[in-house]
Structure 1
Amino acid sequence: APPNYFRAQRVEIAAAYSGFKLTKAKYEPGKTDSTLVKKGFPAGCLPAFESGKEQLFEANAIAQFVANEQLRGGSGNSANVAQFANWSDATFVPPMTAWVLPCLGVTRPDAGQIEAAKAQVAAGLKFLDSYLATRTYLVGERITLADVAVACDLLPLFQHAMGPEQRRPYANVSRWFNTLVNQPEFKRILGEVKLADKAGEFSQARYDQLRQQSGGKKDDKKQAKKEEPKKKEAAPKKEEPKKEATATAADESEKKKEDKDPFAKLPVGTFNMDEFKRVYSNQDIKTVAIPYFWQNFDPEHYSLWYCEYLYPEDLRLLFMSSNLIGGMFQRLERMHKHAFGSMVVFGENNKSTISGLWFWRGQGLAFELSEDLQVDYESYSWRKLDPKSDEAKKLVEAYFLHDEGDFGDKKFARGKIFK
């Protein structure tokens, strides 16, 4: 794993508790990733672990392997331990990327993404604080991997983004967190943990320094800002004579339906999205899923789109780029029933790009159907594809096949499927 990688720290802490002799191989950006793929590991999955014939990827699985029975929760609590580790990864890691990386100067801040990240983190901490009100640890009366995993996920937030005022509402979480990081086993790996003494802020100087170190150019402007697409101004409404409210129960019901599902007003069409996703998940993609897609695609009611990330110069480590995609997917939860997407990170650390292929119900940009879908999409260029074109055929095959796709001279690093 990369040095000081927060996903690997839980593995090291678990080994510190159990006494497992863990040897850390030197991580060389680009070279190590290629070596791991040749050994049979999925592209971009870090940390990676080998012990004899055993090969494991993903932090929680490796931590469980090196842990002792106490940390695993025993036979009666192992499911509860896994529950918290998985919940934490889904709840805190994606928003942490959007919030913490600008504070470190790794990426430029995106106000919309940061506000969404703060809201998601706050919701997770509120639940955690309530849960810990009557408990010392998350599962049982002793430290388990549940505590280790959640604490490691929160560490970057507490160290670089959340100041004392932002942590104050979560007294139970703070008490629990401080108890953990002051344990000898935690200290052996993390050292003395110093929490942020003020809310994290973006530093242009730090950003420029990191860009120069990675071979990028320093921003010419004192405070570089991304050019945001101009929003159309609504035409002034004509004054009309006031009418008495005549909303019926049916009107209210229809409005609630639209609020719940942004796609409610669009024609349904003939394409069965659920069935396609079942085929894609359970059948061979090249010989079954792709033919199924073209045989059943409804171009009158569905559309194909290609996207590219607009700011590749901001991308640093590959796992951070992957986390950007993960955060975007979480914020598009309401599109799941009506959309499918394949997003891919190409290249290597400090030299990568992101692009993807999507299709969804409707002919326009789906994100414009609801404000809560618009947090991320303006960071990408979007181009509608002609489903009859050779380009569309090639892109569908490549992006649907994902890590087995033919992307020409682009080097597949890692990716995620929205389904």
Structure 2
Amino acid sequence: MASIGTLYTIPEQAQGKAIRAAAAFTGLKIDLPENYVHFESNKTPEFLAKFPHGKIPAFDGADGFKLFESTAIARYVAALAPNSTLLGSNLKEAALVDQWVSFANTEIGAQTALIFQLVKGIITPYAKPIHTTLAERQIRSFKTLEAHLSTRTYLVNDRITLADIFMAATIQRALLVTLDASLRAQFPNIIRHFETIVNQPQLKDIFGKTEYIEKALAFTPPPKEKKEAKPAAAPAPKAAKPAKEEEEEDDVPKEEPKAKNPLDSLPKSSFNLEDWKRAYSNKDTRGPDGALEWFYQNYDPEGFSVWRVDYKYNEELTQTFMSSNLIGGFFNRLEASRKYLFGSMGVLGENNNSRISGVLICRGQDIKPVVEVAPDWESYEYKRLDLNNAEDKAFFEAALAWDLEIDGKKWIDGKNFK
């Protein structure tokens, strides 16, 4: 069988594996380059003449057709085989294939790659909050995928599509980095789907033997350099003990009493913030007997106020996961005001075109005493909301329900301060 071309990739690259699997599943032959060394071969003038961006996977077709970006290559390869079913049988199924391929790459694969680079010291310095945020985002994606697979064998229809192959390649990589024994127990349908795909006769050689880690990869700090011990200094002579009559109580440093928070002096409110946090956590946000209904029945506008919060420097935001982490950092620095504050803030938009917005419910009528405990509180704009105003009320409810949309930017991730 004649080869359709050469695919530049490396064994651990999930996207390259998915492309090779798509070719194998449809009976096509695709070559791998001899003696390819990543970060060397793809920087040579010969490679850059074909693929100026220097990126892999990269496909060099037997007919001279060249292509990069994994999804584009995979779709092209899947469509080359006669009567291929990998792209779906109609326009809607084709769109669903694209949806799940994108989900595998951006919502699971990207988090796996970033976590791997963090814990291995490729991205420095290591930051625990970023690691935690990435892990939380990935688990959220696993939950979405698990729910979808709980009622079906494959992702799109009753046959294997390109979506299933991409997802299996992505999950195989996660099984080496994050998807450990405790997580696998939570997501049996993901594992069932993965094993169904990789054990297809046409795909076994491509996926090879899968390793299942018991514990997710964790960051290990590098050992500290040992400093040479300095010779011990001669003990200093003890100071003479002062006469008892010279010891005055006022000479002993006293601990300054902690200043009382002015919010504690406000009149008692009928609205219990802790009860609200529990209601929000345990009820559906909207609908009969939902959290919003509980809020309106119990809210005390004399003792509390509601504020819209917008980040001032949205034009500087890049990756959405970093924007989400920015919210998490802001909330961490508000810890001293936890008993006076509730928040729901989110990232709206997409990478390199996003904004941060949301709402805060705070004790009292002034936001400043509550938020100024965070050093970066002035990086946000605060506007008091009037819940008797339809527009303000709609904004408030959408921020709590995580379906807020501003200027065409839809809510994609959020955090609560509870």
| TM-score normalized with structure 1 length | 0.54
> Counterpart of 1:86 in structure 2: which amino acid?
S
Tell me whether 1:15 sits opposite 2:23 in the alignment. yes
Give 2:225's aligned residue. 220
2:269 and 2:303 in contact (8 A); partners too = no
Matched ranges for 1:335-346 at <5 A: none
Counterpart CA distance in 1 for 2:209 and 2:102 is 26
Structure with higher helix content: 1
Tell me whether 1:328 sits opposite 2:336 in the alignment. no
1:184 is matched with which residue: 194, 201, 224? 201
Give 1:57's aligned residue. 68
Per the alignment, do residues 28 and 334 of structure 1 end up closer, same or farther by CA in structure 2, a change over 3 Å counting?
A: closer
Q: Could you list the runs of 5+ residues in structure 2 that have no partner in the other structure?
A: 1-7, 228-257, 271-298, 327-345, 355-374, 382-418
Give 1:80's aligned residue. 96
1:95 is matched with which residue: 100, 111, 119? 111
Deviations 1:255-301, CA, capped at 9 Å, x for gaps:
2x22xxx33xx6xxxxxxxxxxxxxxxxxxxxxxxxxxxxxxxxxxx
Q: CA shift at 1:242, angstroms?
A: 3.7
Per the alignment, do residues 159 and 338 of structure 1 end up closer, same or farther by CA in structure 2, a change over 3 Å counting?
A: closer
For the residue of structure 2 that corresponds to 1:200, the secondary structure is: coil
Give 1:241's aligned residue. 265
Give 1:43's aligned residue. 53
1:2 and 1:27 in contact (8 A); partners too = no
Counterpart CA distance in 1 for 2:50 and 2:144 is 39
2:56 and 2:68 in contact (8 A); partners too = yes
Q: CA shift at 1:221, angstroms?
A: 7.0
1:101 and 1:107 in contact (8 A); partners too = yes
Q: CA shift at 1:85, angstroms?
A: 0.3
> Counterpart of 1:220 in structure 2: which amino acid?
E
Per the alignment, do residues 81 and 367 of structure 1 end up closer, same or farther by CA in structure 2, a change over 3 Å counting?
A: farther
> Counterpart of 1:101 in structure 2: which amino acid?
Q
Deviations 1:91-135, CA, capped at 9 Å, x for gaps:
112321232334556456421112111211111111111111111
**Bigger CA radius of gyration:** 2
Counterpart CA distance in 2 for 1:110 and 1:368 is 22
Matched ranges for 1:17-416 at <5 A: 17-25=25-33, 26-35=36-45, 38-39=48-49, 41=51, 43-51=53-61, 52-67=63-78, 68=81, 69-76=84-91, 77-104=93-120, 106-107=122-123, 109-203=126-220, 220=225, 237-238=260-261, 241-245=265-269, 249=301, 254-255=306-307, 257-258=308-309, 262-263=310-311, 327-328=321-322, 334=347, 369=380
Deviations 1:215-244, CA, capped at 9 Å, x for gaps:
xxx86379xxxxxxxxxxxx9554563423
> Counterpart of 2:225 in structure 1: which amino acid?
D
Alignment size in residue pairs: 266
Counterpart CA distance in 2 for 1:367 and 1:61 is 44
1:132 and 1:173 in contact (8 A); partners too = yes
Deviations 1:300-333, CA, capped at 9 Å, x for gaps:
xx7997x9xxxxxxxxxxxxxxxx9675367577
Per the alignment, do residues 124 and 337 of structure 1 end up closer, same or farther by CA in structure 2, a change over 3 Å counting?
A: closer
Counterpart CA distance in 2 for 1:12 and 1:168 is 29
Q: Could you list the runs of 5+ residues in structure 1 that have no partner in the other structure?
A: 209-217, 223-234, 267-301, 308-323, 342-363, 371-419
Q: CA RMSD in A?
A: 3.9
1:47 and 1:58 in contact (8 A); partners too = yes
**Which has the bigger relative contact order, CA under 8 A and spacing at least 6?**
1
For the residue of structure 2 that corresponds to 1:12, the secondary structure is: helix
> Counterpart of 1:243 in structure 2: which amino acid?
P
Between 1:27-36 and 1:170-179, the stretch displaced more is 27-36
Counterpart CA distance in 2 for 1:153 and 1:38 is 27
Per the alignment, do residues 188 and 251 of structure 1 end up closer, same or farther by CA in structure 2, a change over 3 Å counting?
A: farther
Identity of aligned residues (%): 24
